[in-house]
Structure 1
């Protein structure tokens, strides 16, 4: 039976293209879109169908087909976003590639990263042209993401454990992401916030006391169990665990994702766990609080409610938080975890390789 559909374009890379794609795929300054396109092309060069590559990289088959064809036609320049309709491009592909490579792999003598003006002067083009190339390739060299490599000796095991809970939760069990948001201040601005776009608020305010918020986000449903207390001691944490215990059906096991805060590991907490056998703690790696999904919920609370609110007392603040939580739980929206443990560890390995490569370059000078 004859094969139907468009034939798959075969990708063969030169050594220079292979090295460039590998650098762009792992370099932390690359945009996520550009890095993903590089990984797709590298996978195509290794062989395999679009379906197989799509499943392995967690993308759509159409996406693989698109970048396979774009690279086959235009090589490295084909990884940029398609130009918008308008006048024909006046600069050559060699200049575009030079701008991208220099942005990712070099820096001027007087700065840590290139500016549009600096690259424009070096190549004799306009700053607007440099800006358009950056936009096409998703490059933002002025931005800096913060990251801390965890020294946790159980890093791999803990990542696999927590990701497993998120992606494949145990049967007959409830999984919660738990944390505290301490020292939330009841702030009152010296003048009302103006409802302009963007909103304008005075820089000065008066402090009217603080409160600590405990929250347990149920991964499956998005519902949140909360408790507001004047402090966040070990005794307060145990009291919050008792509240969670009362609200979860007794026939369910309870798995709790939480960080390595000393309050979570005191003898008082350990004794509580011995009395409540259905509770199981899963600690995030050191410097790994980004793995705790309740942090996403705290962020939503801050940006949607607290950031622009004003409160003349702690009671006003707590009433506001309780009302917001009640509204949230009326129509909860769970946060969905997408990355597998292997993808996280692979990206971490690439980050470490980049650090080692840069350190080696700085030590040797070449």
Structure 2
């Protein structure tokens, strides 16, 4: 089938000025900018194939917009009416969302470092708008979508890895030593997020604006650092936090006391504390110390190098993305206030994480690791041929 010849484009001076203005307009829709540049290239005498290479578009795209401009002029570069639901947003509603998105969350009293669509929807609801009216997705718990992505450790050093890991996975499924947990038994996942710095930027952070992303100055003064200790109720999705100058036994036990002296944990039959092997809660001494201070508490350690089994790490990832990044705080007091306020905000809407890694998945994982190690072991065995240099071989 013959390829149609390229349509000739001849521009008047006024048309060229309008197209050049559109081609370099920072706030114009990107599609309009690309189309204007295609037409200018065509008027310059470039072929369709060369324009496609220059502008990184498909050849058919060049043919389409070149032909439409040749037939209709500037009107041909506009989108044609399409079937489907008409726009639901009024200009006032659009302005409402844009004005909110172009402010730093802290300026509106929201304990976040930056906005997401769900955060904007939540704030819109608090201001009396419905998220559907504003074209935003319905707000959900920020951790709901973050079921733990599991990756095998490089080396399994813990000889009791399977036993320890299976015990924690059973707790997540509300079971302990082969029996289901009762209504008065709870599972707490706990750890520390260390070295959260207060970086005071030398120039104020600029909120998003027209054709501009949030701008953060790379120069800053250090205002110190603190540790954020958190205990997460796995099945009730409740977070208890505590800030301290550094980690250690005393800050950890302060967090434990904060949880265990509140209901329903004070009167609970059992409270299982899932922790890693950090120095604040390592070994039998930590187990005995917890049991001595709170007889209804049971400490359960993850295997060595298996903090990915600890669900509180998911919460810490949310804190890192929503609260700490980008890091722009004038003091450690501001860091602590932001963490504390976000914790209250999170507890108002949080739901349990969708933890999908089960004991059956653990067995499959360990079986794959074992097969891989066996394959590596066999590949390193001698083949039966003597590869010693001739000078080292015994005489016949």
Q: Which residue among 210, 233, 241 is the counterpart of 2:225?
A: 210
- How many residues are matched? 222
SS of 1:215's equivalent?
strand
1:351 and 2:369 aligned: yes
With over 3 angstroms needed to count, the CA separation of the structure-2 counterparts of 1:203 and 1:362, relative to structure 1, is: farther
- Which has more helix, going by share of residues? 1
Q: CA deviation at 1:292?
A: 0.1
With over 3 angstroms needed to count, the CA separation of the structure-2 counterparts of 1:166 and 1:268, relative to structure 1, is: closer
Instruction: Give a deviation string over 1:88-129, Cα, whole Å, max 9, x none.
Output: xxxxxxxxxxxxxxxxxxxxxxxxxxxxxxxxxxxxxxxxxx
Query: Would the aligned equivalents of 2:287 and 2:298 in 1 still touch at CA under 8 Å?
Result: no
Structure 1 segments unaligned to the other structure (5+ residues): 1-144
Q: Which residue among 182, 188, 191 is the counterpart of 1:176?
A: 188
TM-score normalised by structure 2 residue count: 0.52
1:301 and 2:319 aligned: yes
Q: Map 1:98-177; keep pairs closer than 5 Å.
A: 147-169=153-175, 170-171=181-182, 172-177=184-189
TM-score normalised by structure 1 residue count: 0.56
Q: CA deviation at 1:156?
A: 1.2
Query: Would the aligned equivalents of 2:232 and 2:240 in 1 still touch at CA under 8 Å?
Result: yes
Aligned CA RMSD, in angstroms, stands at 2.5
Partner Cα separation in structure 2 for residue 226 and residue 289 of structure 1? 19
Partner Cα separation in structure 2 for residue 184 and residue 354 of structure 1? 38
Aligned to 2:273: 256
Q: Map 1:1-366; keep pairs closer than 5 Å.
A: 147-169=153-175, 170-171=181-182, 172-195=184-207, 199-249=214-264, 250-252=266-268, 253-265=270-282, 267=285, 270-358=288-376, 360-361=378-379
Residue range with higher mean Cα deviation, 341-350 or 162-171:
341-350
Q: CA deviation at 1:272?
A: 4.1
With over 3 angstroms needed to count, the CA separation of the structure-2 counterparts of 1:146 and 1:276, relative to structure 1, is: closer
Partner Cα separation in structure 2 for residue 168 and residue 324 of structure 1? 28
Q: CA deviation at 1:340?
A: 1.4
Q: CA deviation at 1:358?
A: 4.2
With over 3 angstroms needed to count, the CA separation of the structure-2 counterparts of 1:332 and 1:356, relative to structure 1, is: same
SS of 1:151's equivalent?
coil
Q: CA deviation at 1:324?
A: 0.7
Partner Cα separation in structure 1 for residue 356 and residue 258 of structure 2? 30
Larger radius of gyration: 2
The runs of at least 4 consecutive aligned structure 1 residues that moved more than 4 Å come to: 194-200, 266-269, 362-365
Partner Cα separation in structure 1 for residue 286 and residue 334 of structure 2? 32
